[in-house]
Amino acid sequence: MGKTATLANIGSVADSSLGFRNRIINGAMVIDQRNAGASVTPTATGTYGVDRWCGILSAASKFSMQQSTTAPSNYKNSVLITSLSAYSVGAGDYFSFLQLIEGNNIVDLGWGTATAQSVTLSFWVRSSLTGTFGGALRNNASNRSYPFTYTISAANTWEQKSVTIAGDTTGTWDNSTNCGIQVGFGLGVGSTYSGTAGSWAAANYVSATGATSVVGTNGATFYITGVQLEKGATATSFDYRPYGTELALCQRYLPETYVNGTTVVGFGSSTTSSYARLASSVPTRVAPTGISVSASNQFAVYSFNTAASGTASNVVFSSGDTLGVWVQITTTAGSPTLAAGHGTQFYGNNANAKIYFTGCEL
């Protein structure tokens, strides 16, 4: 049976031997590799804001997401979600801000078995709206869900919340590299995807019945940070991890390669084409299937056989594995002239030059 409460005083748990206590990655919203603090307006489900957090939606461009420095004491960042219109949510509509937790990170919860463990979700929230808000935990197939509610009592004031959820003894819960648990916060959800708070259901519920719609008020704001999902029936202090550790955890799903200032040795395949291997900073969740390039003309190729360099006209994905990707670089004829089998160097010639490996996200 679930319960909802405002935390007046969360006890301190500092023992590092507890390990990976918070199953949420980037719960303090400090890592923003894709957008570097810029606002993002989701036009499709799966659009990411800060690392590991994305929006799901039934209608495009109804809210924006942005890393913010407005945060409660002892936090640096939050995510600000802003409603972009006064949207009337229909029965089949859904808008949610969520994280998909990898199945490998929830094995010990035993969900789907008779020994399923309870979890507690805690977080800091602030909104220009007040009232009852909702969210839900769901499995990867979205056919098991647990809607929950919490109350925001004062407008534009940080409040800390906690929800304890009994482990699900039925259903299928992935324990591999796929999604294990979806943790979502509703921003406006219609009756089709809303269910009774406080119990498990064999349904796809994104939020709780009667929850406040953020997208229903033009300009409404909703901030969230300090999100923690942990085993047990008690919320503990937020599990701060070193910044480098949090970044590496995020890079399992979105490796980012800065080629500017460094060179990568490659080889020519024709007079205008070469290949280079870009290593991942950490082993990725699955093999990348593509890349996202800041701009091809921010990269260059140097030819060892002609001792000349030129600007890349195109940089595309060739192949990948969990340790890196091969990219193919095209240059303009004669700038420089490459030779098949001869060495090259691939490098960024712009401070903003960067490449993301894609296809690793959940």
CB 28 within 8 A of CB 77: yes
How many angstroms separate the CA atoms of 223 and 88, rounded?
21
pLDDT at residue 257, rounded to an integer: 86
How many angstroms separate the CA atoms of 215 and 221, rounded?
9
- For the chain (362 residues), the mean pLDDT of every run of 10, in chain order, is 42 46 98 96 96 98 98 98 98 98 98 98 98 98 98 98 98 97 98 98 98 98 98 97 97 90 92 96 96 94 94 97 97 93 94 93 92
How many angstroms separate the CA atoms of 345 and 304, rounded?
8
What's the topology of domain 3-251?
Jelly Rolls (2.60.120)
Which one-letter DSSP state was computed for residue 248? H
Residue-wise pLDDT for 313-346, tens only, equals 999 999 999 999 999 999 999 899 999 999 999 9
The model's pTM = 0.92
How many angstroms separate the CA atoms of 249 and 254, rounded?
9
pLDDT at residue 261, rounded to an integer: 77
Give the β-pairing of 194-195 and 207-208.
parallel
pLDDT at residue 278, rounded to an integer: 96
pLDDT at residue 13, rounded to an integer: 35
How many angstroms separate the CA atoms of 234 and 163, rounded?
9
pLDDT at residue 100, rounded to an integer: 98
Question: Mean of the per-residue pLDDT values for the chain?
Answer: 94
Three-class DSSP category at 250: helix
Which one-letter DSSP state was computed for residue 210? T
Find tokens 């593509």 and name the residue.
290
Q: What are phi and psi of 248, to 5 degrees?
A: -65, -40
Nearest to 260, CA basis, from 357, 350, 326: 350
pLDDT at residue 5, rounded to an integer: 44
CB 250 within 8 A of CB 31: yes
Nearest to 47, CA basis, from 62, 27, 28: 62
pLDDT at residue 258, rounded to an integer: 80
Three-class DSSP category at 244: helix
Nearest to 355, CA basis, from 276, 265, 273: 276
Q: What are phi and psi of 83, to 5 degrees?
A: -75, 135
Three-class DSSP category at 191: helix
Residues in the chain: 362
Q: State the DSSP H helix or E strand holding residue 243, giving kind and residue range, or none if neither.
A: helix 243-251
Q: What are phi and psi of 235, to 5 degrees?
A: -80, 130
What is the DSSP code string of 220-289? -EEEEEEEEEEESSS--S-----HHHHHHHHHTTS-EE--BT-EEEEEESSSSEEEEEEE-SS--SS---
Nearest to 193, CA basis, from 143, 127, 129, 133: 143
How many angstroms separate the CA atoms of 324 and 62, rounded?
36
What residue segments make up the domains of the chain, in order of their start?
A: 3-251, 256-358
